[in-house]
């Protein structure tokens, strides 16, 4: 029993980024002294059921985390969003996770296989961010407060936009690799067109602003790829690598690493995500992503011709949408 507890807490320790003493972190979670936390880590004091649940809730893991080594057994954490508060909590948690990665410095890295434009980029331009948030809340998550409403920037809480902006700015501080296809922007363009053709813009003039900001977003990403830095700082030219693949990705898949800690996020039901820290699953995902990169064409750094051609094709789609709406 005590050996199982020791192994369990060792597993939990690996979920922490190692930025603080694990005993101090555990003490804070359980409301204990550091000495009491150490006794539980060493197996001298048995964890109560309440303490076990507090730990699992904090680290968002299942109590049977020790079974992760079993072949074919994978635990996922699912973020269920049903109302405005859930969505705001999602953004807050999203930001906190990125801030932890930022603190990990060069130990941290994000690899994003992008069936759609990586979500971070959508938060950089206010009207574009407001449109995406409205679309997710109304058309995907079916949040009641947006039922029967047409898009208006005023319907999106300023707190959401502020959190989104912080998410983007923090992401820019974390080293990342993004793997795109020529279709990665298609879903956003289809969303804009659908809302336009369905008369779901409160002010028809807003659609032109959103399309303009969508193009600015793409132009900025192109510039970031050219420099190799999301901060546009040449001193951090290894901050951002971008690849183009001709293989259909099929679903957004994100691998986050911080030292020895790994976590995989997979899109579920358009916007929701499934998250797992299962070592076997994370390692297999890492191998799959490495294989995707080997088969992809680099479009960042010195790959000027490939980058130009790739982004021109995407911009042509934006111009085609703009012309159709006009």
Q: How many helices (H) and strands (E) does the chain have?
A: 11, 8
Q: Where are the beta strands (DSSP E) in 38-190?
A: 77-78, 108-114, 176-180
pLDDT in tens, the chain (326 residues): 578 888 888 878 876 655 568 888 888 889 988 898 888 888 888 888 888 888 888 877 777 666 665 556 777 777 778 888 999 999 999 999 899 899 888 889 999 999 999 999 999 999 999 999 999 999 999 999 999 999 999 999 999 999 999 999 999 999 999 999 999 999 999 999 999 999 999 999 999 999 999 999 999 999 999 999 999 876 666 789 999 999 888 889 999 998 888 999 998 877 778 888 888 899 999 999 999 999 999 999 888 999 999 999 999 999 999 999 97
Q: Which residues contact 124 (CB under 8 A, 6 or more apart)?
A: 165, 168, 217, 220
Do 116 and 187 contact (CB within 8 A), yes or no?
yes
pLDDT at residue 275, rounded to an integer: 87
Domain extents for the chain?
Answer: 2-66, 77-325
Do 62 and 275 contact (CB within 8 A), yes or no?
no
In this structure, which topology does domain 2-66 adopt according to CATH? Answer: 434 Repressor (Amino-terminal Domain) (1.10.260)
User: Any idea how long the chain is?
Assistant: 326
d(CA 223, CA 232): 8
User: What is the value of pTM for the model shown?
Assistant: 0.81
């Amino acid at each position: 029993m005590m050996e199982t507890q020791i192994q369990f807490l060792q597993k939990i320790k690996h979920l922490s980024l190692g930025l603080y003493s694990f005993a101090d972190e555990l003490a804070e979670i359980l409301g204990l002294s550091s000495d009491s936390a150490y006794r539980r880590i060493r197996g001298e004091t048995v964890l109560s059921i309440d303490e076990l649940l507090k730990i699992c809730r904090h680290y968002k893991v299942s109590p049977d985390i020790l079974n992760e080594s079993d072949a074919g057994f994978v635990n996922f954490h699912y973020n269920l969003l049903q109302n405005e508060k859930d969505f705001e909590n999602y953004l807050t948690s999203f930001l906190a996770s990125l801030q932890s990665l930022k603190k990990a410095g060069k130990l941290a890295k994000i690899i994003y296989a992008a069936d759609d434009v990586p979500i971070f980029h959508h938060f950089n331009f206010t009207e574009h961010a407001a449109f995406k948030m409205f679309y997710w809340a109304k058309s995907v998550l079916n949040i009641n407060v947006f039922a029967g409403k047409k898009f208006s920037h005023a319907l999106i809480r300023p707190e959401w936009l502020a959190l989104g902006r912080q998410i983007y700015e923090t992401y820019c501080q974390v080293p990342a690799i993004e793997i795109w296809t020529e279709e990665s922007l298609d879903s956003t363009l289809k969303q804009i067109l659908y809302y336009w053709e369905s008369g779901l813009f409160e002010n028809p003039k807003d659609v032109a602003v959103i399309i303009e900001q969508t193009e600015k977003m793409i132009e900025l990403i192109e510039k970031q790829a050219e420099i190799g830095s999301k901060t546009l700082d040449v001193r951090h030219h290894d901050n951002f690598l971008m690849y183009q693949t001709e293989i259909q990705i099929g679903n957004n898949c994100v691998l986050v690493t911080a030292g020895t800690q790994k976590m995989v996020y997979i899109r579920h039901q358009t916007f929701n995500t499934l998250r797992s820290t299962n070592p076997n699953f994370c390692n297999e995902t890492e191998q799959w992503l490495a294989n995707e990169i080997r088969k992809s064409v680099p479009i960042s750094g010195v790959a000027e011709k490939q980058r130009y051609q790739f982004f021109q094709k995407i911009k042509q789609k934006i111009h085609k949408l703009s012309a159709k709406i006009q």
